[in-house]
Amino acid sequence: MSKVLRINMEDLSHKWQNVKPAHKTYAGRAFTSTILSEEVDPTCHPLREQNKIVISPGLLAGTLAPSSGRLSVGAKSPLTGGIKEANAGGLTGTRLGNLGVRGIIIEGAPKNSKDWYSILVGKDKCEILKTNQYAGIGLYDLIGKVWKDHPTKPGIIGCGVAGQRLLENAGVFGNNIENSDPGRYAGRGGLGAVFGSKRIVAVISDGKGGSRPEAKDQEKFDEARKTFVKSLNAHAVTGKLKDDKGEPYGGLKNYGTNILLNILSEAGGLPTRGFRSGRFDKAAKISGEAVHDLVDKTKAKFGDKAEGKYAHACHPGCVMACSNIVPYEETGKQHVSPLEYETAWSLGANLGIGILHDVAELNRLCNDIGLDTIEAGNTIAMFMEAGIIPFGDGPKAIALLKKAYDEDSVEGRLVSSGAQTAGKTLGVTRIPSVKGQALPAYDPRPIKGIGVTYATSTMGADHTAGYTIAAEILGIKGKVTDPRDLKKAELSQAFQATTAYIDSTGYCLFIAFCILDDDDGFNAMKTTVDSFLGEDIDVTSYGKDVLKKEREFNKKAGFTEADDRLPEFFKTEPLPPHNVVFDVPDEELDAVFKGF
Amino acid sequence: MTVTTDSIEIHLYGCLRKLVKGSRPDEDTTMTLEYVENETFIELIERLGLKRSDIGDCFLNGTLAKPKDIVPKGARVGIFPFNMVLLCGGQHLKGHGYTRDDVDVDYYQ
């Protein structure tokens, strides 16, 4: 029986509650957004006691369904001022699923406290621990200390020094399976700062004594999950590492999400040097292929001592394994994990930096300080736009980011505060953000559908909210798919609704690559969810219901259609090589959520 | 490399880089080919000694390349292998038939 843990940080108390009957099908994003919409005043200050943090493993987390261990974290966002859900892999989703925890709701804040706390969740237990020793340190150190203090290999999420200082680009870190890196981030929207506002450094999930959640129809569930695994393994994107001849096969396992860097550059949609070009002449140097090559070289040189990896799982039971461990070329030891496409873009192509080591180092620093990499790259770009450091200068970007460790450094605080705050402070007029959140790695001028998602998403500019990229460039059922076609409202809405459903199941969004191709895979995926719950869930209705709650929250928070717009420069500055602007009419943007 | 309007510039990725001797995964792998009037994309692929099943998503001047597309003078042609595609579903709906041969219908026309 799933339970909800409610924690009050004002009096450091907690209580266990049953899942409300009306919430019985909600988990992950559906749970976090429902609780926020029911319990949080949308006009509250996101960094004061009225805001709440809601943590929820996806519906199937902890089960044997493949790639289903994602964790959602929600709160009113300090970065956007609206509702926020960010999700990630790591260990915590699986641990909470095994413990039977549907959600953790953290409310209130200690009054005038200078102490820092951690929440230890175990089988039918919760302790709120005073852990000042975990505050003010890098997150690589922190996760090491936590596993030393709690030797049951717990999941850990929380905030780094950026969140502890209430800075708006603070992400929620998570430890990886090996506990070698805090890089499993529910990164977007500044939710790490909400943890800091409640004086919480870490939530530690000890899975000891836990068990696999049982499906209502276990036989049907097991059959469906096995079919789904077969479907995922057979697909050229999500499939096996090597073919029968030993040659690279599955795109994600070999090259990770960063397979996209070369492809988007070739397609002319890779935002480069502050969204000035759609192609990066050094894309190959920081691509997934380059990481694959570096891993192979260091394995050949250092043998068993080499720590680099591809086909690395981001959470227990992930069969797609798109994560990686980037090694130092000189030693073969781990530099950072993972280096994702969005990060290679934001800290690489977006800054004009084409040296893999420098990009990996910027990524490692973000992971250690507790920053979202997409926002961090866009923020450093503001310093480059302002002429404070030059585009393409990796060492200067690294030096700037290192200032974030120093509590007394104004530049350090600014580089941790997001692109909009930094851009405005530095007199930049080309700030690539929507609702205060910076754009990810697809330029909305040649790929207009993703521009519609950026503009209209409840989350601010977010590619995952409605990933139309492939559908636009390549094709989708019944749709005209030229990326320059303007009718994108229906496409974006359909993707946003389906995404909200997937974000609630615990499944990684990347299963979409397979289920859109393979009807058997789609049906098996849906059957796992339905047989787990014991009822037939309509994918689109479920997703739309989540979106409606999020839109309503944002409306009450003061958002209007005028906030569903891209920055002006996307409409006026043509992007080479296609030399197009974002010209989707406002009426088309407003049509996405007409009737919601 | 000099590309004139009478030639085309090929960019190769993944396992197709081996078509250029000494290529590296962390550097651009390019070759220049002679321009052939009215050559289709699939004829160009055959000229390279490749089959449809060898290739994934490919681009002609940044736009998805279809088999019957004419390769223009001075074109930049990006060729990815079968296992390098935009992270997506809908392979059988792309209409190009490179990665799947069960093309239902070409919605991209």
Q: Which residues of B touch A250 (CB under 8 A)?
A: 83
Instruction: Write out the residues of chain B at the interface with chain A, using a CB-CB cutoff of 8 A.
Output: 11, 13-15, 24-29, 56-57, 59, 61-64, 78, 80, 82-95, 99-100, 107-108
* Gap between the Cα atoms of A358 and A392, Å rounded: 10
Work out the pLDDT band at B87, boundaries 50, 70, 90.
low
What is the distance in angstroms between the Cα of B98 and the nearest Cα belonging to chain A? 12
Nearest CA in chain A to B27: A284
Partner residue opposite B83 with nearest CB, options A251, A285, A517: A251
Partner residue opposite A266 with nearest CB, options B15, B62, B89: B62
**Quick check: A173 and A239 in contact, CB under 8 A?**
no
Taking only the tens place, the pLDDT of each residue in B3-61 is: 666 899 999 999 999 999 999 999 999 999 999 999 999 999 999 999 988 898 899 99
The answer to whether residue A26 neighbours chain B at the CB level (below 8 Å) is no
| Nearest CA-CA partner of A434 in A566, A270, A594, A319 | A566
Are B90 and A470 inside 8 Å of each other by CB? yes
What is the distance in angstroms between the Cα of B108 and the nearest Cα belonging to chain A? 6
What CATH number should be reported for the domain whose range is A3-205? 3.60.9.10
Residues 560-589 of A with CB under 8 A from B: 577-578
Phi, psi of A511 (to 5 degrees): -60, -20
What is the distance in angstroms between the Cα of B29 and the nearest Cα belonging to chain A? 9
pLDDT of residue A471: 54
What is the distance in angstroms between the Cα of B16 and the nearest Cα belonging to chain A? 12
Are A248 and B28 inside 8 Å of each other by CB? no
Extract the tokens encoding A532: 């787990």
Domain boundaries, chain A: 3-205
Output the CA torsion B15→B69→B102→A244 (10° steps).
-10
| Nearest CA-CA partner of A456 in A547, A391, A343 | A547
* Gap between the Cα atoms of B47 and B33, Å rounded: 10
pLDDT of residue B57: 85
* Gap between the Cα atoms of A289 and A496, Å rounded: 30
**Quick check: A432 and A419 in contact, CB under 8 A?**
yes
**Quick check: A418 and A80 in contact, CB under 8 A?**
no
What is the distance in angstroms between the Cα of A181 and the nearest Cα belonging to chain B? 25
pLDDT of residue A469: 59
pLDDT of residue B1: 53
Q: For residue A84, which amino acid is it? A: K
* Gap between the Cα atoms of A180 and A173, Å rounded: 13
pLDDT of residue A399: 98
What is the distance in angstroms between the Cα of B6 and the nearest Cα belonging to chain A? 20
Q: Which residues of A touch B85 (CB under 8 A)?
A: 236-237, 251, 263, 474
Any residues with CB less than 8 A from the CB of B43 and at least 6 apart, and which? B36
Query: Per-residue DSSP letters for A333-359?
Result: -EEES---HHHHHHTTGGGT---HHHH
Enumerate domains of chain B plus CATH numbers.
Answer: 7-93 (3.10.20.30)
pLDDT of residue A404: 98
Residues of chain A with pLDDT under 70: 1, 465-491, 517
Whole-structure pTM value: 0.94
Partner residue opposite B99 with nearest CB, options A236, A250, A478: A236
Are A289 and B27 inside 8 Å of each other by CB? no
Nearest CA in chain A to B102: A517
Residues 346-365 of A with CB under 8 A from B: 356
Nearest CA in chain A to B77: A266
| Nearest CA-CA partner of A515 in A500, A532, A527, A533 | A527
Task: Tell me which H or E stretch contains A592.
Answer: none
ipTM: 0.90
Q: Which residues of A touch B14 (CB under 8 A)?
A: 248, 289
